[in-house]
Amino acid sequence: MKKVVYLIGSLKNRDLIIPLSNELEDLGYEAFSDWMCPGPDADDFLRDYQRARGRNYKQIINSYAVQNIFHFDKHHIDRSDFVIMVMPAAKSCHLEFGYAVGSGKPAYILFDGEPERVEVMQAFATDVFLSKAEMIEHLHLHHRS
């Protein structure tokens, strides 16, 4: 059975997430990134729609639309064997990453080179990779299907 990896990333990182999903699937993983389907402006459209309806932040978070999206993403994190957060990543990504870590899943961070800033709490990660090649090598050794 294929191992499932949930890719965590920004809706604006289409050029990073989609090729990585394809490469991981070519290596035999189920790489889940369907959360990207609504496009890079989905969160802005959601906000603007809800505000046009006269809703405040708390009402938006409790709306059917947000709850549906939340449970969709959470379900796929829960069914994953491990997660990879592709940097740069937004606040929501870090919340998903923290949830995965708290759920006991192996959780990795993928950078495209040496980060300029040190984020101490990224030490929660199972491992941090500075290149896709380094990460692929690690996955081959530790997460074969």
- Domain ranges within the chain, ordered by starting residue: 4-142
* Residues with Cβ within 8 Å of residue 74, at least 6 apart in sequence: 99
4-142, CATH topology level: Rossmann fold (3.40.50)
pLDDT of residue 145: 59
* Cα separation, 132 vs 29, whole angstroms: 15
Q: Note the pLDDT tens digit of each residue in 104-124.
A: 999 999 999 999 999 999 999
Model pTM? 0.94
Residue 40 has a CB neighbour count (10 Å cut-off) of 12
Q: For residue 143, name the pLDDT band (cuts at 50, 70, 90).
A: confident
Q: Note the pLDDT tens digit of each residue in 60-86.
A: 999 999 999 999 999 999 999 999 999
